């Protein structure tokens, strides 16, 4: 499995973690110093004494008002920063694709190209407008893209916008369901395991998590197909609907989504699980928890209200950095389960050096990563009172 971006450092005590989350490689230093941006209005607290904020270990029932202004400003700053990032990333993509050993003409011609004459191949090259330096092609693409014209996908013989709109919904559904599933399961199992580190459940869960982490998703996928579709016959082996029918019904969709989403969730689960387990186990040994216990609070309140709350902080960081991993995983899963999402288009676009499609997909993936980071930072600011959105 490939990992995009630097991995977050292993969780230690959350108390030692400095402000914002680690950033992924897709987010460059844009040169804007967040500190330099003045507070837009007088409501921004100038006094950052923690006393003004609710205590870190406040009981979960007490919510403070959400800092909308701070969150909006952070989002705005990130949006602005995304512009040069996207320009850079697409530039890099065009450069990489130009350096790729794959020849778009051969890829376009496919097996037919194996018996084509030189004249036909030359004609194709001229028609596909593949001459000229990649910088020129990038600029052309960019100037069209800002007007909303994403161009035509050469390899799929379709406009790029159509390729994406046809598929993205299915991919988003799969990723979202899997992500939520992994998050919930990871938290649940992580807390359960952390309650008694070294216990039977902990050893069992941790062991399985390591095995799952090591198992390639497509292998898990094949195994799931074998078990649920072939041996037990309870779930369909692939596709969006029964192979013989065309209409997508809610029930049918759920049944077809179950396996791919479960497998994708399983591939994401170990990280969340292990981080939650570590975070909660560490927190359980800390003073606030001891204090809470000493005050006679119920085990439930201590575990969920105190230990989990601080133990979840590193997990929030993971939310953002796991997005690229999720996309890579979805790529394999979609292939195994014939899921009509964006993954197969990505593979095709990459091997066929289909510039316009590749560029659009790269932008999408970059946006997903940036959005994941933003979400992580927003949540982090909400969850940890020591962190201020203004400072990110």
Partner 1 sequence: MRSRTVRTLAAGVTAAALLAGGAACSAPSEGGAGGATDSLTVGIAQEPDTLSPLLGYGKDGNSKIFDGLLRRDAKMNLKPALATELPEVSEDGRTYTFALREGVEFSDGSPFTARDVVFTYETILDKKTNNPNKGELDAVKSVNAKDKHTVVFELKYPYAAFAERTVLPIAAEEVAGKQDVNDGAYNTKPVGTGPYVLTNWRKGEKLSFKANPDYWGGAPEVRKFTMATVEDDDVRATRLRSGDLDGAILPPQLAQTFEKDEGKRTLAAKSSDFRAVTLPSGNDVTGDTAVRRALDLAVDREQMVRSILSGAGKPAYGPVPTDSEWFAEGTERRHDLKGAKRILDEAGWKPGADGIRAKDGQRAEFTLWYPAGDQIRQEHALAYADDVKKAGIKVTVKSGSWEVIDPRLAKDAVLAGGGSPADPDFDLYGLLHSELALDGYKNMSAYDNPAVDKALEKGRQSGDRDERERAYRTVQRELAKDPGYTFLTHIDHTYVMNDRWTGVSTQVEPHDHGLGFGPWWNVEDWRPKE
For the segment 25-84, give every residue that binds partner 1 (CB under 8 A): none
| Span from 13-21, 70-78, 198-206, 368-376 in contact with partner 1 (CB under 8 A) | 198-206
Measured from the CB atom, is 308 or 343 closer to partner 1? 343
Backbone angles phi, psi at 329, to 5 degrees: -60, -45
Total chain residues near partner 1 (CB under 8 A) = 82
**What DSSP assignment string belongs to 51-96?**
GGSPPTT--TT-PPPP-HHHHHHHHHHHHHHHHHHHHHHHHHHHHH
Of 81 and 289, the one with the shorter C-beta distance to partner 1 is 289
Selected range binding partner 1 among 47-55, 232-240, 308-316, 371-379, rule: CB under 8 A: 232-240
Both tokens of 223, joined, read 């195994």
DSSP state of 108: H
Nearest-approach distance from CB 375 to partner 1, in angstroms: 24
Residue 41 makes CB contacts below 8 A (sequence gap 6+) with 69
Q: Judged by CB under 8 A, does residue 117 bind partner 1? A: yes
Return the residue of 94, 108, 272, 380 that touches partner 1, per CB under 8 A: 108
| Residue placing its CB nearer to partner 1 in the complex, 215 or 258 | 258
Q: CA-CA distance, 212 to 220, in Å (whole number)?
A: 8
Interaction of residue 124 with partner 1, rule CB under 8 A: yes
Report residue 272 as tokens: 């969340």
* Contacting range for partner 1; rule: CB under 8 A; set: 19-27, 110-118, 279-287, 311-319: 110-118
Pair 137, 355: CB distance under 8 Å: yes
By CB under 8 A, tell whether 14 contacts partner 1: no
Reference 147, options 164, 134, 161; nearest CA is: 161
Is residue 99 within the footprint of partner 1 (CB under 8 A)?
A: no
Q: Which of residues 253-272 bind partner 1 (CB under 8 A)?
A: 254-255, 258-259, 261-262, 265
Site for partner 1 in 342-371 (CB under 8 A): 343-345
List of E strands, the chain: 152-153, 158-159
The dihedrals phi and psi of 158, each to the nearest 5 degrees, come to -145, 155
How far apart are CB 231 and partner 1 at their closest, in Å?
9
* 131 forms part of the interface with partner 1 (CB under 8 A): no
Closest Cα partner for 289 from 271, 307, 274?
307
Q: Which of 352, 350, 345 is nearest to 161 (CA)?
A: 345
Out of 35, 41, 119, 131, the only residue in the binding site for partner 1 (CB under 8 A) is 119
Q: How far is the CB of 3 from partner 1 (least distance, A)?
A: 25
80 or 180: whose CB is closer to partner 1?
Answer: 180
Nearer CB in complex with partner 1: 55/285: 285
Pick from 267, 325, 392, 371: nearest CA to 5: 325
Specify the residue, 24 or 187, whose C-beta has the smaller distance to partner 1.
Answer: 187
Q: How many CB atoms lie within 10 A of CB 142?
A: 15
């Amino acid at each position: 499995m490939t990992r995009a971006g630097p991995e977050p450092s292993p969780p230690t005590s959350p108390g030692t973690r400095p402000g914002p989350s680690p950033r992924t490689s897709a987010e460059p230093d844009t040169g804007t110093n967040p500190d330099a941006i003045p507070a837009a209005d007088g409501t921004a607290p100038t006094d950052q004494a923690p006393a003004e904020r609710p205590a870190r270990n406040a009981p979960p029932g007490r919510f403070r008002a959400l800092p909308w202004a701070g969150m909006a400003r952070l989002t705005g700053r990130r949006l602005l920063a995304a512009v040069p990032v996207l320009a850079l990333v697409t530039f890099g993509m065009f450069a990489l694709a130009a350096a790729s050993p794959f020849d778009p003409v051969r890829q376009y011609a496919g097996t037919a190209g194996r018996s084509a004459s030189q004249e036909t191949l030359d004609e194709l090259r001229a028609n596909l407008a593949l001459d000229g330096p990649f910088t020129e092609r990038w600029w052309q693409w960019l100037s069209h893209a800002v007007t909303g014209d994403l161009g035509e996908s050469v390899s799929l013989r379709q406009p790029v916008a159509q390729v994406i709109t046809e598929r993205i919904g299915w991919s988003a559904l799969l990723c979202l369901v899997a992500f939520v599933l992994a998050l919930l399961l990871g938290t649940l199992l992580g807390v359960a395991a952390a309650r008694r580190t070294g216990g039977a459940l902990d050893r069992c869960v941790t062991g399985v998590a390591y095995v799952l982490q090591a198992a390639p998703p497509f292998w898990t996928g094949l195994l799931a197909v074998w078990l649920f579709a072939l041996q037990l016959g309870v779930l369909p082996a692939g596709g969006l609907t029964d192979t013989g029918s065309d209409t997508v019904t809610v029930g049918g969709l759920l049944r077809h989504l179950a396996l791919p989403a479960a497998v994708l969730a399983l591939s994401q689960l170990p990280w969340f699980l292990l981080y939650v387990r570590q975070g909660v186990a560490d927190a359980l040994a800390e003073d606030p928890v001891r204090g809470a216990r000493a005050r006679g609070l119920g085990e439930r309140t201590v575990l969920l209200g105190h230990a989990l709350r601080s133990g979840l902080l590193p997990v929030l960081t993971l939310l953002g950095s796991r997005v690229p991993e999720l996309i890579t995983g979805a790529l394999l899963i979609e292939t195994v389960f014939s899921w009509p999402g964006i993954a197969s288009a990505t593979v095709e676009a990459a091997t066929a050096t289909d510039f316009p499609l590749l560029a659009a997909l790269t932008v999408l993936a970059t946006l997903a990563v940036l959005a994941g980071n933003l979400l992580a930072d927003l949540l982090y600011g909400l969850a940890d009172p020591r962190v201020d959105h203004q400072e990110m």
